[in-house]
Amino acid sequence: MVSEKFMKALKSVKESGKPLYQIAWDAGVSPGMLYKISAGIDRPKLGDKRVKKLCSCLGLSEDEAYADEHKTNEAGVV
């Protein structure tokens, strides 16, 4: 599952005027796949190549892209 920081980075880029489909294309993933990841439909695991590519476009480290599973479980989200 992607982190809140990852989602904020996506939102920030979108608010700057760059469409999400452009971010997806720049990262080499389909816009549909970006949607599935950001909507929580697809929950990539640590080391997922798609997330690595998106992180490089968003200026995040891979570690910043993933939610801390322990904290998420404590919050009752999972």
Q: How confident is the model at residue 1 (pLDDT cuts 50, 70, 90)?
A: confident
Structural contact between residues 56 and 27, judged by C-beta atoms closer than 8 angstroms? yes
**Judging by beta carbons within 10 Å of its beta carbon (0-12, 13-18, 19+), is residue 42 exposed, middle or buried?**
middle
Identify the structural domains of the chain with CATH numbers, from first to last. 4-75 (1.10.260.40)
Q: Give pLDDT tens digits for 7-59.
A: 999 999 999 999 999 999 999 999 999 999 999 999 999 999 999 999 999 99
Structural contact between residues 7 and 38, judged by C-beta atoms closer than 8 angstroms? yes
* Model pTM score: 0.80
pLDDT at residue 72 greater than cutoff 60: no
Q: Which amino acid is at 31?
A: P
Write out the two tokens for 67: 């939610």
